[in-house]
Amino acid sequence: MGTVTVRNLDDDVQRRLKLRAARHQRSMEAEARAILTAAVRETSLARSWLDATRDLRGPDLELPERGQPRDLDLG
């Protein structure tokens, strides 16, 4: 496993990281590791959500008919 050192971290960023780590009941180092791991994942959050809710949506979702767009009077 590699080691990463982050220098010149803004005090506010460090404070927020500490608070976030406390909310997740882990150390700042574990929180930073989780954030970095999530940031470099190839799967996006949206794709993960869609995959996780596939069974809830069902296969036979019917889309409404689409017509021509209405004219919009901005005057």
Q: What integer pLDDT is reported at residue 57 of this predicted model?
A: 65
* Alpha carbons 33 and 20: distance in angstroms, whole number: 12
In a domain, 39, yes or no: yes
Any domain includes 73: no
Residue 31, Cβ neighbours under 10 Å: how many? 19
Kind plus residue range of the DSSP H or E element containing 26: none
Q: Which domain holds residue 30?
A: 11-49
> Is the residue at 32 inside a domain?
yes
Does the pTM surpass 0.85? The reply is no
In tens, the pLDDT along 18-70 reads 999 999 999 999 999 998 988 887 767 777 777 777 777 666 667 778 888 78
Within a domain: 43: yes
Q: CB neighbours (10 Å) of residue 33?
A: 13
Residue 9: the pLDDT is 92
Reduced to 3 states (helix: H, G, I; strand: E, B; else coil), residue 10 is coil
Q: Does any domain span residue 74? A: no
